[in-house]
């Protein structure tokens, strides 16, 4: 399955996607510090929130009922954060290396490049979060994997949200240069207060709730609380998040491809920098 | 559209690039026959790098057409790119990767059936063995140029486009590169198209020269035709005459 099976994707080849992924895996292999860094922040976050959570459970009956809600929220928020960062960093790596010119005089298609960035984001996110999730088991007797299939569903949805944001950030960096690179770290935090990571969406003022429900992440965190408090999986939340996710991914993937064409018109693939 | 049976390696028609109302490349038209070595000469800002970027599709022209090996770059870019490659001092290979890793990635991007074999050939041909496991960022300028050339040859291109292939090299390294390119073209029949500021290099390698000034082809011909036309003994003097607007003979009509 390598050629032209998706309409408009004629000539799509997995070997080129694999080549771009290999390039980033080589970078990761060459720097154990980077691997450590990937796992470092999620782990620190998890430890800090683990202790806060332990303290709160002695103070709040709601939190006793929803034991693990804070830790699950911390870990799932990091899925979203890492998915965005994993994609943006892989893209910016090419700009830092001034390698875009070489890549795009090869037969690599822009959409193959996007698939490679998405793949690398999934790999980076898994490497970053797995140690934190595993460490939570002995430290706080909290096993996020006990959530079972719902966890897989939430993980997937948050990955897609992160990819969408990452594609938007990459489009902006491609258009405005590496001076805009801090957006990779900053922009995602605009979603945090609206996503209801640590509190229900009903906490927000009415008008802001309307805005929040347009975010896939709000449905995911709401769905997570439903699982943790009632043990049931709310499919309507999951499906709504999926539809929103696919909409944003198409929109921001389209923005990236459009910006790529603008970059070709303005000569930005050769003159990358600040 | 099926490509011609033996089309020119490069066919450019009325190619124009305008930035902020200023034409950087202005109505360029030329053809480069297959199997030739052609130089694109011009002073700084003449439009050489912009032209090369448009040939490769890295930059979209404001108007005009480019066809490489018979493939229209506006409609069939990928048909051409598999048989083309390029090297430029303005585009790097990832410095954190070793030479072998970089070559492996590009061998895979071009879908070579046996990448390890091709890389071994490149390592031997371009004498990369002593530093093939070293990070690319830690190489000398001469070594980096050879690695960039190895990347540019990894897919055995029928058309090789080189932007200043020996820029910032010492005379010995430069001479080595020129010798290699000359042998490669002779042995494979590939077309070489290079932008250069090194007139001795152009005199040694090229059968055809395109002289650019202010975004246009000012003159063209073989080295001997140009020197004769301008009443000079070497290409450097011709270049200086044209760059300074002091040409006595003037371009061919």
The average pLDDT across B90-101 equals: 91
Q: Do A105 and B57 touch (CB under 8 A)?
A: yes
Mark yes or no for CB contact B59/A30 under 8 Å.
no
Q: Where are the domains of chain A?
A: 14-266
- CATH ID of B1-80+158-166+191-253, from 3.40.640.10, 1.10.4160.10, 3.40.50.300, 3.30.1330.50: 3.40.50.300
**Concatenated DSSP letters of B28-68:** EEEEE-TT-EEEEE--TTSSHHHHHHHHHTSS--SEEEEEE
pTM for this one? 0.88
User: Higher pLDDT residue, B67 or A224?
Assistant: B67
Length of chain A: 274
Contact between B104 and A22 using a beta-carbon 8 Å cutoff: yes
Choose the closest CB to A27 out of B57, B81, B96: B96
- ipTM value of the model? 0.88
What residue ranges do the domains of chain B occupy?
1-80+158-166+191-253, 84-156
Residues in chain A closer than 8 A to B135 (CB atoms): 30
CA distance A142 to A70: 11
In the predicted structure, residue A3 carries a pLDDT above the cut 80 = no
B51 contacts B97 by C-beta, under 8 angstroms: no
Beta-bridged to residue B98, according to DSSP, are B135
Select the residue of B50, B82, B92 nearest A98 (Cβ to Cβ): B92
Sheet holding B84-87, edge to edge: B84-87, B159-163, B191-195, B37-41, B208-213, B216-221
The answer to whether A181 and A93 have CB atoms below 8 angstroms apart is: no
Measure the CA–CA gap between A129 and B192, rounded to whole angstroms: 50
Q: Which of residues 21-60 of A touch B (CB under 8 A)?
A: 22-23, 26-27, 30-31
Whether residues B82 and A101 touch (CB distance < 8 A) is answered with no
A18 contact B CB<8A:
yes
For residues B114-135, average pLDDT: 94
Percent of chain A with pLDDT strictly greater than 90: 52
Q: What is the pLDDT of residues A119-164, one digit of tens each?
A: 999 999 999 889 888 988 888 888 888 878 888 899 999 999 999 9
A&B contacts, CB < 8 Å = 100
A39-63 burial string, b = 16+ CB within 10 Å, else e?
Answer: beebbebbbebbeebeeebeeeeeb
Count other C-beta atoms under 10 Å from residue A189's C-beta: 9
What pLDDT is stored for residue A49 in this prediction?
A: 75
| Predicted confidence (pLDDT) per residue in B24-50, tens digit | 999 999 999 999 999 999 888 889 999
Q: Which of A23, A93, A100 sits opposite B105 (nearest CB)?
A: A23
Q: Look at residue B168 in the predicted model and tell me its pLDDT.
A: 74
Enter the DSSP assignment of A95: H
């Amino acid at each position: 399955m390598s050629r032209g099976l998706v309409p408009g994707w004629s000539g799509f080849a997995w070997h080129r996607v694999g080549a771009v992924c290999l390039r980033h895996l080589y970078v990761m292999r060459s720097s154990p510090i980077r691997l450590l860094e990937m796992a470092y922040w999620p782990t620190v976050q998890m430890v800090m929130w683990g202790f806060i959570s332990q303290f709160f459970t002695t103070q709040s009956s709601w939190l006793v009922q929803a034991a693990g809600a804070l830790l699950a929220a911390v870990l799932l928020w990091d899925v979203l954060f890492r998915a965005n960062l994993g994609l943006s960093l892989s893209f910016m790596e090419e700009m830092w290396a001034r390698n875009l010119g070489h890549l795009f005089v090869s037969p690599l298609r822009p959409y193959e490049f996007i698939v490679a960035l998405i793949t690398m984001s999934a790999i980076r996110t898994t490497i970053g979060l797995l140690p934190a999730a595993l460490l939570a088991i002995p430290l706080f007797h909290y096993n996020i994997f006990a959530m079972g299939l719902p966890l897989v569903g939430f993980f997937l949805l948050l990955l897609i949200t992160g990819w969408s944001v990452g594609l938007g950030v990459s489009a902006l960096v491609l258009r405005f240069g590496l001076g805009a690179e801090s957006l990779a770290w900053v922009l995602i935090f605009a979603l945090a207060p609206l996503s209801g990571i640590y509190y229900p969406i009903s906490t927000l003022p009415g008008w802001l709730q309307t805005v929040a429900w347009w975010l896939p992440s709000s449905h995911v965190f709401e769905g997570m609380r439903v699982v943790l408090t009632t043990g049931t999986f709310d499919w309507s939340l999951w499906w709504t998040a999926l539809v929103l996710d696919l909409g944003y991914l198409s929109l921001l993937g389209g923005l990236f491809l459009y910006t790529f064409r603008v970059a070709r018109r303005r000569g930005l693939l050769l003159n990358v920098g600040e | 559209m099926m490509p011609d049976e033996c089309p020119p390696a490069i066919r450019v028609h009325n190619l124009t690039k305008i930035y902020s109302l200023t034409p950087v490349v202005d109505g360029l038209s030329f053809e480069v026959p297959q199997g030739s070595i052609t130089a694109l000469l011009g002073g700084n800002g003449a439009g050489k790098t912009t032209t090369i970027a448009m040939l490769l599709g890295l930059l979209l022209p404001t108007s005009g057409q480019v066809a490489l090996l018979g493939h229209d770059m506006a409609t069939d870019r990928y048909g051409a790119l598999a048989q083309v490659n390029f090297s430029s001092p303005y585009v790097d290979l990832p410095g954190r990767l070793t030479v072998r890793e970089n070559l492996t990635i590009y061998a895979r991007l071009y879908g070579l059936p046996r990448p390890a074999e091709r890389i071994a050939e490149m390592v031997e041909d371009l004498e990369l063995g002593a530093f093939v496991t070293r990070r690319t960022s830690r190489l000398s300028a001469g070594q980096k140029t050879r690695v960039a050339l190895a990347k540019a040859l990894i897919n055995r291109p029928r058309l090789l486009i080189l932007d200043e292939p020996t820029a910032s090299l010492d005379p010995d390294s430069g001479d080595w590169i020129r010798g290699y390119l000359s042998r490669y073209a002779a042995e494979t029949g590939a077309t070489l198209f290079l932008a250069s500021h090194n007139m001795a290099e152009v005199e040694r390698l090229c059968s055809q020269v395109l002289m650019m000034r202010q975004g246009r082809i000012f003159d063209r011909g073989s080295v001997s035709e140009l020197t004769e036309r301008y009443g000079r003994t070497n290409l450097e003097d011709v270049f200086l005459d044209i760059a300074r607007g002091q040409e006595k003979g003037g371009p061919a009509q």
